[in-house]
Amino acid sequence: MFELLFLGTSASAPSIHRGLSAHLVIARDYRFLIDCGEGTQRQILRSGVGFKRLNRILITHSHLDHILGLAGLLSTLVRWESLDELEIYGSRWALDRVQDLIYRVVFRNERLPIPIHLVDVQEGVFFETRDFTVSAFPVTHRGAGCLGYIFQEKARRPFLVERAEALGVPFGPERAKLVRGESITLADGRVVQPDDVLGSEVRGARYVHTGDVGRTDDIVEYVRGAHALVTEATYLSADAELAQQFGHMTAAGAAQLAAEAGVQTLILTHLSRRSRERDVLAEAQAIFPNTYVARDFDRFSINKERGVTKLVSEQVDSRAALESADESEPLELLDDSPLEL
C-alpha cells in the first residue's frame, strides 16, 4: 500500500555518503515528502522519481537540517512544475520558520504563480482519502512543536468469492455494490446482504515515522502495531549522554521502542557521522533482529499481507550505490548539533 524512498539519511550535516533528512512516501497516486533537508531536490532528481504530483510536504520540526532544502525545492516547483497548489504541513512553530524562509528569503516581494498553503497540524487525522489516512502525534525532541506522522491504510473486509458463487451473485456491478456495503436483489428476488459475502475486517498497512525524538515512553501507543517504523538512530549506546543532551535516540533505544510497541520492521535513519553503519545495525539487531539501516535511495514497500520488503532500485546509477557505502572509519570528534538550530 505504501512505498518509501529515502532521499537523505544523515543527522545534522550531510556526509559524502548521506544527504540530509528527507524521504518520499508514495500511496497510490499521492506523494508526500517528509522533511526537506539541504540538497533534497537534487536527491529527487538522482532517484529518478521526478517532481510530478509532489505537492504535499510534511515537516516534523523546525531544525535547519530538516527544512533548508525547501528554499531550492520550492523555487523549482513553483517556477517549473505544473502544480495547481502546494501544501506544507507542520506545527505552528515549524511553519513560522518555514514562512520566514519562503517569504523573506526565497520569494521576497514576489507574487507567486501558485498558492502555497501552510497547514497548521494538530494531533490526529489531518488528511484522508478513500483508502488511507495521515495523522500526526507529538514527539519530544528539542523545542516545541515536534511531530511524528502515521500513514494508516483503512481496514477492508475481503470479498469471499466462494460464498458469492454459492449464492449466485453474478460478476459485475452487483459484486461491487456488495463490497461497498450495499445490499443487492438477484434476478429471482432473493436479497443478498454484504455480510453474506464479506469476511471479517482486515487491518490495513500502518507506517509510522517519528522524526527526531529524545524519549520513547510517550509515543509507544502511537507506534504500536506498525508494519514499519522509521525512526532515528543518531547515536550508539556509547554516546548515550550525547543523545540525551541533544534530544536524540541511540540505536538500542530505537530497537527497544520497536520491541515494546510490537512493530514488524524497524528502519533506522538520521545517522551521525560519528558512527559506522554496521555498528548501528549490530546494536539494534541485538535487541530487534528485523532491523534495517536506510541508505540514501533505498526503497521499501509496506503491504498488509507481505509486510515490509526492501526493493531493488534501478533508478540510481552505480556511483550513487558506491557513495552509499559504509564509512570505513567513524569521525569520532564531530559535533552533531550545528545545523539543529
Question: Does the pLDDT value for residue 320 go beyond 50?
Answer: no
Question: Does the pLDDT value for residue 30 go beyond 70?
Answer: yes
Active-site entry in 29, 35, 65, 212: 65
Question: Does the pLDDT value for residue 321 go beyond 50?
Answer: no
CA distance 143 to 320: 34
Average pLDDT over residues 50-78: 94
Parse the chain into domains and list their residue ranges: 2-156+205-323, 161-197
In the prediction, which pLDDT does 328 show? Answer: 42
Average pLDDT over residues 106-134: 93
Percent share of the chain, pLDDT over 90 = 77
- pLDDT class of 157 with cuts at 50, 70, 90: confident
The pTM (predicted TM-score) of the whole model is: 0.88
58: CB partners within 8 A, 6+ apart: 32, 33, 34, 35, 89, 90, 134, 149
Question: Does the pLDDT value for residue 319 go beyond 50?
Answer: no
Q: Is 65 a catalytic residue?
A: yes
In the prediction, which pLDDT does 333 show? Answer: 45
The pLDDT tens digits of the residues spanning 122-136 come to: 999 999 999 999 999
- pLDDT class of 78 with cuts at 50, 70, 90: confident
- pLDDT class of 113 with cuts at 50, 70, 90: confident
Question: Does the pLDDT value for residue 303 go beyond 70?
Answer: yes
The pLDDT tens digits of the residues spanning 238-294 come to: 999 999 999 999 999 999 999 999 999 999 999 999 899 999 999 999 999 999 999
- pLDDT class of 314 with cuts at 50, 70, 90: low
Q: Assign residue 222 a region: left if phi > 0, alpha if psi is -120 to 50, beta otherwise?
A: alpha
Average pLDDT over residues 39-65: 95
Comparing 295 with 159, the larger pLDDT belongs to: 295
- pLDDT class of 112 with cuts at 50, 70, 90: confident
Architecture of domain 2-156+205-323: 4-Layer Sandwich (3.60)
CA distance 154 to 159: 15
- Average pLDDT of the chain is 90
